[in-house]
Homo-oligomer: A and B are copies of this chain.
Amino acid sequence: MTEILVGSYLFQRLKQLGVNSVFGVPGDYELMLLDLVPEAGLTWRGNPNELNAGYAADGYARVNGVGAVVTTFGPGELSNMCPIAGSYTEFVPVVHIVGYPTEAAQHGKNIMHHSLGEVGDGKFNVYHEMSKHITCASAVLHDAKTAASEIDKLLNAMLLNSQPVYLGLPTDIAMQKTPAINLKFPLTTELVPNKPELQSFVVEKIREMMGKAENPIILVDGSMYFYAFFMSPVLITLTNADTARNRLLKETKALIATTGFPYFATAMSKGFIPENLPTFGGVYGGAGTLPEAKKVVESSDCTLWLGSYPARPIFGVSNSIYSGEFTEKINENTTVDFQRFFVKVGGVRFDVKMKYVLDALVEDLKKKPLSYKTKSSMGSYLQDGDFVITETGTSAFGIPGSSLQHISDIQMFNQTIFGSIGFASGAAVGAFVAGKEAGTVKRNILITGEGSLQLTVQAFSDLLRHEVHPTVFVLNNGGYTVERLIHGMEASYNTVPVWDYGKLFRAFGPDFKTRQYTVKTPDELDALFADEEFKSSSCAQIVELFLGKHDAPLAMKLTTAAIEEFNKRSRMKRGKCR
């Protein structure tokens, strides 16, 4: 029987899942493994540290469908725990591959470097135990003969749950042979269909609620996007950004078109659902919603809520649909809650999968049309083909309020639930690389705040060397603005040190062409947005937007556009290409 190195088997499997780039930081327990990356036709994209690497893999997975990050035993993997916990929370499928000491070293209970150094007990299982809390499945390989099936089991778990998995790969096992035959059998990328009788019953219940409704709406939420990827049977053959864009969009668009109901986005789904249909109602986010959208959503007597996160947080105020403590005032009795593995109709839960229920519902609607009559409802810089990544905090909260009605083809995401600052810059590396590989993205735009940027500023280095020509907006208001709004408006701990961002940008990639701009007034910003050279994004660009210390996009009080907010302010210095 043909055999293959365990490490090669892993990378071949990832390649089958559409992975083209692998992120990480080289370490002594994984060096030989890295030799196998290019052999499998993948590109190694090392990062300055693991925090950046983990975010890059997350960003890549959100675009490409699956991401992979390699770290080394101990310090390396520990520094990747924050990114992995974020992927876990937000349902982003990432393989965390950890280079382990050899089997002999582990069984000998020796004190290896990077181990916790306990006498007589190397405690080689400690980091694995820690990782179990933040992954849906995990394994450390101990036997090359069963390695192929162990790897498949892990990857299938990742695909099923759309969450990260942890794979410990000892240096010796990685270079041993395992049967290659499994590679001929594809991984499981389709969910088991629903039971027909139960599905029919649920569709009937939904139709009942829809039939009685006078103000029905569709709320397209963000988890959709993550949950949905698994259901795409075309995943394996599609290796470009279309994969991400096509997840449950087809089903969602069909529902919107067939019902004619007004539809709304949320902060999590913003940018992934087109807003150019006449029935688009705006972005809903509880207390932060514009009054007209808020009124329509909260007075609805039939809410089809697709892929909601069980509860979305707004500044520490929990807003669970179950507990009633939400600022989102949506009546559970008149809501259909569509989830990956279940659908709740008026609070009653059924064990059916969203995707198949949506298909069946649309079919049913086509056969027996609704009598509903369509009603109607409600950014200069953003364009078709843009890929926009925004930071948790100031920059993310500003974007949902910007009108995207002129755009039909834009991608956008942020890390809404886990909310780890520094995520955007790290994730942008992976996302922009994935977009570049797919060839469908015209401009890469990163919007972050200076406080967040300081955690993962090394990402500049990767953005430059992978030549993704990002346009980076740094909102500089001299501190942690979100924290200020919560507590400590004048406290020194909410101040961050003064950096020269333009100089940093150049210093992190002295060999690459870059442009830098500083903007201090709305006129300057208008001039910049009118500048053809700037708009073309033909090289990496950084724009430092100076805001007053206490400024924040109105969105944090009542959702509104960050970019429009800058327009209310004042002077732009023009950058030069170097």
Contacts and interface: CB of A to CB of B under 8 A. Distances in A.
Q: In the complex, which of the residues A108, A119, A461, A497 has the most CB atoms of chain B within 10 Å of its own CB atom?
A: A497
A458 B32 CA distance: 30
Contacts of A129: 133
Contacts of A455: 25, 48-50, 79, 458
Interface string A76-91: 1011011001101110
Given A130-B133, A316-B28, A497-B509, A323 B119 contact: no
A442 to B, nearest CB: 25
B116 A483 contact: no
A69 to B, nearest CB: 13
Contacts of A234: none
A313 B112 contact: yes
Contacts of A26: 480, 483, 488, 493-494
Interface string A502-516: 011011111100000
Contacts of A487: 28, 31-32
12 contacts: A26-B483, A32-B488, A44-B493, A49-B51, A74-B85, A75-B85, A81-B130, A89-B117, A101-B316, A112-B318, A498-B510, A501-B507
Contacts of A503: 503, 506-507, 510
Contacts of A90: 117
A162 to B, nearest CB: 13
Contacts of A491: 31, 34-35
Interface in A173-193: none
The 6 closest A-B pairs by CB, nearest first: A110-B318, A75-B420, A31-B487, A503-B507, A113-B313, A78-B82
Contacts of A419: 75, 113-114
B483 A117 contact: no
A571 B83 CA distance: 42
A458 B461 contact: no
A457 B454 contact: no
Given A26-B493, A31-B487, A499-B507, 14 more contacts: A28-B315, A31-B488, A49-B456, A51-B51, A74-B82, A75-B419, A81-B81, A113-B313, A113-B419, A117-B310, A126-B134, A462-B497, A498-B511, A499-B509
Nearest to A110: B318
Contacts of A48: 454-455, 457, 496-497
A378 interface: no
Interface in A433-458: 454-458
Contacts of A79: 51, 79, 81-82, 420, 455
A74 B420 contact: yes
Contacts of A32: 487-488
A488 B35 contact: yes
A573 to B, nearest CB: 15
Given A133-B126, A133-B129, A486-B28, A114 B420 contact: yes
Interface size class of chain A, counting residues whose CB lies under 8 Å from the partner chain: 35 or more
A500 B492 contact: no
Contacts of A51: 49, 51, 79
B318 A105 contact: yes
A311 interface: yes
Contacts of A101: 316
Interface in A30-82: 31-32, 34-35, 37, 44, 46, 48-51, 74-76, 78-79, 81-82
A186 B152 CA distance: 57
Given A34-B491, A82-B79, A461-B454, A110 B504 contact: no
Interface centre among A29, A318, A461 (most CB of B within 10 A): A318
Judged by DSSP, the binding face of A is loop
Q: How many copies does the complex hold?
A: 2
A116 B85 contact: yes
A417 interface: yes
B493 A113 contact: no
A347 interface: no
B418 A113 contact: yes
A320 interface: yes
Nearest to A457: B458
B134 A116 contact: yes
Contacts of A108: 318, 323, 325
Contacts of A496: 46, 48
Given A28-B483, A111-B318, A417-B117, A500 B493 contact: no
Nearest to A480: B26
**Most B Cβ at <10 Å: residue of A32, A79, A133, A511:** A79
Given A51-B49, A133-B126, A325-B110, A31 B509 contact: no
A482 interface: yes
A325 B499 CA distance: 50
Interface in A310-353: 310-313, 315-316, 318, 320, 322-323, 325
A27 interface: yes
A21 to B, nearest CB: 13
A550 interface: no
